Structure 1
Amino acid sequence: MDTQPTILFVCVHNAGRSQMAAGYARALSGGTVTVLSGGSEPGTGINPVAIEAMREEGIDISRAVPQLLQTDDVRAADAVITMGCGDACPIFPGKRYEDWELDDPAGKDLVTVRRVRDDIRSRVEQLLRELDVEVVAS
């Protein structure tokens, strides 16, 4: 890809799955992608268990803030990855859309969130490869 791709990760509360995916996309791309994230009903803070699970991977998402999904973000993205936001996500023709079926880590223990985290990592790695982005070790 000649230009830096933009990826938008969306989940309902923008407090767990989408924030973990965004953290991985930034880290595994070495900063060569623009990463956006949002939620249809943003929460008040990032899931502390998701923060801990990502910290184990050397990725700090503790300063992230849940954001309301913006139509302009969808318009700007080359790839839109949804994670359980249903019909709340706007769709524009010509965009790459994927819906990743992932367990919601809200209220789950660290062992469960690690499993979700690892699933997200493998999906982000695959997405980056499909977008012709070199995956860097982290």
Structure 2
Amino acid sequence: MTDQPSVLFVCVHNAGRSQMAAAFLNHLSGGSVEVRSAGSEPADQVNPVAVEAMAEVGIDITAERPKILTDQAVQDSDVVITMGCGDACPFYPGKRYEDWKLDDPAGQGIDAVRAIRDDIRGRVEALIADLTAPSYES
């Protein structure tokens, strides 16, 4: 890893889970982690219920737009976290991959999306602790 770790969040539409995860990582890491998000089949906009759920915790994602997953984004990231994109995510040796099993917020009401949001926040907090822990490698 470089001095500043980089994380890529990937889901199919890059409209809900990956957007919320990226926003939490940006917000909670205070800029100590480089953050990307993308989708294998990006939607035309971020899920409005995800936007609402994030606004409830003081994070504004209204300016975000779904982005297409590229090989370059994977190559430029130390950690790749997938959320239901299956085999669409390219694999490169030397990268750390995690698959977060999360419900898809698409078509869900605010109560369901709040639960997904809170699950993502907990996972992001654990990820930050892991990425910023002192390394004992020589």
With the shorter chain as reference, the TM-score category is over 0.9
Q: Determine the structure 2 residue equivalent to 1:19.
A: 19
Corresponding position of 1:124: 124
Point out 4+ residue stretches in structure 1 off by more than 4 angstroms: none
Which secondary structure state, in structure 2, belongs to the residue aligned with residue 92 of structure 1? coil
How far apart are residue 32 of structure 1 and its match?
1.3
Report the CA distance between 1:2 and its aligned residue: 6.4
CA distance in 1, matches of 2:100, 2:36: 16
| Paired positions, count | 134
CA distance in 2, matches of 1:30, 1:132: 12
Q: How does 1:76-115 map to 2 (within 5 A)?
A: 76-115=76-115
Code of the residue aligned with 1:97 in structure 2: it is: Y
The match for 2:41 is 41
Say which one has the larger Rg: 2
| Structure 2 unmatched ranges of 5 or more | 134-138
The amino acid across from 2:11 in the alignment is C
For residues 131 and 20 of structure 2, what CA distance do their matches in structure 1 show? 19
RMSD across aligned positions (CA): 1.4
When residues 77 and 2 of structure 1 are mapped into structure 2, their CA distance, relative to the original with a 3 A threshold, is closer
The gaps in structure 1 that reach 5 residues or longer are 134-138
1:48 offset after TM fit, Å? 0.3
Identity of aligned residues (%): 62
- Post-superposition Cα deviations, 1:72-105, rounded to whole Å, max 9, x if no partner, equal 1100101100000000000101111000000000
In 1: Cα distance, 2:6 partner to 2:37 partner: 11
Q: How far does residue 31 in structure 1 lie from its aligned partner after superposition?
A: 1.2
Q: Secondary structure at the match of 2:132?
A: coil
